[in-house]
Chains A and B, each alone.
Chain A
Amino acid sequence: MWTVWTVWMVWMVCLVPTTSEALCTEDDGYKVRLSIKTALGGDAYEWNESEMFFFKATLAFAMRTYSGGEQYDVSNILVCDETLRVSFVFVVTKPSNTSELVPRTEVENAIKKSRHRINSAFLLTDQTLDFVGINPTLAAPIQYDTPPWLIAFGVVMGLVCAGIVALLVSTFLNKKRSKKSADEEEAGRGNGILCESIRGKDGLFNQGLVDDDRLTKL
């Protein structure tokens, strides 16, 4: 009895890792690439065992959120093919049966739903935390009630129209004013010579006393 149990334990211990290795393939899971140095530059953190544990925990969280409470745990996330690039492949096993995989589409939907949370956990973006095969959903374009260009257009046209109206009105007023003063001058005409024209001139204009400086100064 005891021998049977030992054999069975040895068999389990040897098989489980190989089973999990057999489960973890890129066809059944997803390849992840992290570009930490590109994203954070000098503040980049080192990728180590703890970070990998954190990643598994985040994925488990995403699966829990998507499935509505199913008890996904860190042990349900299997990781393999780790490289120095910081890329690896992961698959998700069902919490009820660790030798069965969650279908790819479900994993994809779960990640898409919590993508922003996953990104923020690692201080990365859609481009620097790359799930190969899962395209990020693009942000909705900003919708304006009034396009900003119409507002700018309205302001400029308003100023221009105000300017045109002001100038036309001032021309009209000037004309009225000059017409009125012309009527007044008509009354004040003596022998045909307007008083204003004589006022400025004292006597004959002597050409010989013209200013020497003929060149207009700048």
Chain B
Amino acid sequence: MGWSTKLKLPNPGLDERILSHAQLEKLEVEEAGERPKWDNKAQYMLTCVGFCVGLGNVWRFPYLCQSHGGGAFMIPFLILLVLEGIPLLHLEFAIGQRLRKGSMDVWRTINPYMMGVGLASMCVSLLVSLYYNTIIAWVLWYFFNSFQEPLPWSQCPVNANRSGFEQECERSSPVDYFWYRKTLNITTDIDQTGGLQWWMVLCLISAWAVLYVCCIRGIETTGKAVYVTSTLPYVVLTIFLIRGLTLKGSVSGLVFLFTPDLNELANPATWLDAGAQVFYSFSLAFGGLISFSSYNSIHNNCEQDAVIISIINAFTSVFAATVIYTIIGFRATQRFDDCLGGNILTLLNTFDLPEGNITESNYDLALESLNATNPDIVNRLNLQTCDLNTFLTEGVEGTGLAFIVFTEAITKMPLAPLWSVLFFVMLFCLGLSSMFGNIEGVLTPLQDLKIFPKSWTKEAISGVTCLLCCCIGLIFVQGSGNYWLALFDSFAGSIPLLITGFCEMVGVVYVYGMDRFNEDLVFMIGHKPNIFWQATWRVISPLIMLVIFLFYFVTTISKEFFYIAWDPESAKFPTLEQKPYPTWIYVIIFILAGIPSLAVPGAAIFRALWKRCCKI
């Protein structure tokens, strides 16, 4: 296409920085070069699937699906998957496989002024690794606590003189109490640190230790670990699906999840959330995927890989949503039954009616007749309104889903410790396999930047990195740790990634050159990418990225900065209270979101200035 060559930005010296096709062929055939390689294709696929499929598929996608019109959400999700997710994925795989370098070096090779993109990727990977492993530490804590009957979060602890239950637990619920008090020991606001919680420190150390043992020699050890961490979640999800479908009320959960509300498609927030979910779900712009595909053989069919992994990711999201909502339907039905049972008992006791006079089926009729005869007595009883839909919509995303809603549902199942162990093993594997990619996005650029001395072995480098991250991660295991984690999650893992993703596309298409990229793909996989890839890479995907980024930026800037806190003294307890952030938080937010984002233009400006000053 003539117009594409005109749109290429000048990029002198590119040929000297990259290996030519002939050199690559020679490298492949002679099997020379010190770059590590995958033992087989399965390891590579499982690692990529593990990186993409993470906790977000389990606790973010089902919530989005349910809150944006159920089955109708699939439409924007699938459309944006095809137009945004698959092209970006293919791009990252192809560029990594072609240039055979880690994420930092890839951008330095394409153009030294683009090194900022690599730096941004590394910063984001580092910040995300820090807090992501804390979530894994929480999962481990629940896992360790699952080996007892009854589960510690199934009942409130008794108070000192055995006359009743702990006040805080009595006012909220056993699962809330276990999460906020026994696990996090949370403070009332972000200013109070609350000190280090020793049990969480132990769990954090074990999380980093497990990560270290799996990443100790790079993909040599990671490639073996993914056989378990990437496949076990699917086994557990299937077991839970079968268990869930046999529970009472599971079908109402599924109906609630998938009932389409096509009006939601007119809501721009639906499309925005779908686009953001696709982008974050694929773990794009972290740099990990580029590193992983750089270890492939040169003629690996990256196009096929991208399509397969995207399909697997979408399928996993829907599958996990189904499983989660069978269990949520069960829990909601249990709560509804308890609520109704309580009301029935109150009525029986007040009017001294024989048992069995009022049942679930004739509750409404009975209440009406009693209200007609004795309205004042009935009013004084303050009966609760029991609505199944209210229970189904209760707080079901993020850590709230895993550690509060789901754990409560598990306590109501027979053989609760078994289900608890299985669930948390699944969450652990999902999180750990994503951490492999995050850590890869940190270690490879560190090696490319030659920060560590050459004499240091791979084991030493990964050991030092894990140790440093563990120490910095101690901020998340203090009393106020959860508030810090929410802060990191909102700011470190959002805006910078969108910017980096956009710059990646622009960099490859317009700086590296679409013609050269097409030729590379012909060389690698044997045929030129068809019109779909051309259109999405050049125009459609960057446009979608830009729109999502602008929307995100505008909403983040314009919204009030609140965080939700667990405050037993607040009037609305146990509902979480909204508190404004203190002013010094803005510095932290700038460090989290601003520095990686500004690294992209910053590195270019720095390099331009350095060249100019050296020429003088």
Contacts and interface: CB of A to CB of B under 8 A. Distances in A.
A83 B356 contact: no
B297 interface: yes
A205 B29 CA distance: 10
A85 B354 contact: yes
A22 interface: no
Contacts of B206: 153, 156-157, 160
A216 B213 contact: no
B348 A164 contact: no
Given A152-B143, A163-B213, A164-B212, A84 B301 contact: no
A217 to B, nearest CB: 7
Contact of B459 (A137, A160, A163, A168): A168
Interface stretch (B156-164, B328-336, B368-376, B555-563): B156-164
B354 A167 contact: no
Interface string B321-361: 00000000000000000000000010011001111100000
A178 to B, nearest CB: 13
A138 B355 CA distance: 26
A129 to B, nearest CB: 13
A148 B147 contact: yes
B131 to A, nearest CB: 21
Contact of A167 (B41, B158, B210, B221): B221
B213 A164 contact: yes
Contacts of A214: 299, 525-526
B158 A215 contact: no
Interface string B199-229: 1001101100110110011000100000000
A161 B355 CA distance: 60
Interface string B416-437: 0000000000000000000000
Contact of A216 (B25, B205, B300, B459): B300
A108 to B, nearest CB: 14
Contacts of A33: 349
Contact of B158 (A138, A151, A210): A138
A12 interface: no
B349 A86 contact: no
A164 B216 contact: yes
A167 B356 CA distance: 66
Given A157-B206, A160-B213, A161-B209, A215 B299 contact: yes
A16 to B, nearest CB: 27
B144 A149 contact: yes
B459 A37 contact: no
Nearest to B38: A216
B352 A85 contact: yes
A141 B158 contact: yes
Contacts of A160: 206, 209-210, 213
Nearest to A217: B41
A15 to B, nearest CB: 29
A164 B148 CA distance: 29
Given A35-B355, A84-B353, A215-B301, A164 B144 contact: no
A87 interface: yes
Contacts of B45: 218
Contact of B299 (A85, A171, A216): A216
B223 to A, nearest CB: 14
Interface residues of B, number: 47
Contact of B162 (A83, A138, A156, A164): A138
A140 interface: yes
Contacts of B158: 138-141
In this complex, the member of B143, B349, B525 whose beta carbon has the largest number of chain A beta carbons within 10 angstroms is B349
Contact of B147 (A37, A152, A215): A152
A86 B354 contact: yes
A52 to B, nearest CB: 16
B355 A36 contact: yes
Given A35-B355, A86-B354, A210 B29 contact: yes
A38 interface: yes
A214 B523 CA distance: 10
Nearest to A137: B162
A171 B459 contact: yes
B141 interface: yes
B414 to A, nearest CB: 17
Nearest to B299: A214
B536 interface: no
B193 interface: no
Contacts of A215: 299-301, 525-526
Interface string A19-44: 00000000000000101111000000
A37 B356 contact: yes
A82 B210 CA distance: 66
Contacts of A151: 147
B41 A216 contact: yes
B219 to A, nearest CB: 14
A140 B162 contact: yes
B389 interface: no
A85 B351 CA distance: 8
Interface in B19-64: 25, 29, 41-42, 45
A216 B297 contact: yes
B252 interface: no
A205 B140 CA distance: 54
A215 B25 CA distance: 13
Contacts of B164: 135, 138
Given A153-B206, A160-B206, A205-B29, A141 B356 contact: no
A153 B345 CA distance: 44
5 contacts: A148-B145, A151-B147, A163-B213, A210-B25, A214-B525
Q: Nearest 3 pairs between A and B by C-beta?
A: A83-B352, A149-B144, A214-B299
Interface of B: 25, 29, 41-42, 45, 140-141, 143-145, 147-148, 157-158, 162-165, 199, 202-203, 205-206, 209-210, 212-213, 216-217, 221, 296-297, 299-301, 345, 348-349, 352-356, 457, 459, 525-526
Given A149-B145, A153-B206, A215-B301, 11 more contacts: A84-B354, A86-B354, A138-B158, A148-B144, A149-B144, A156-B144, A157-B205, A157-B209, A167-B217, A210-B29, A218-B41
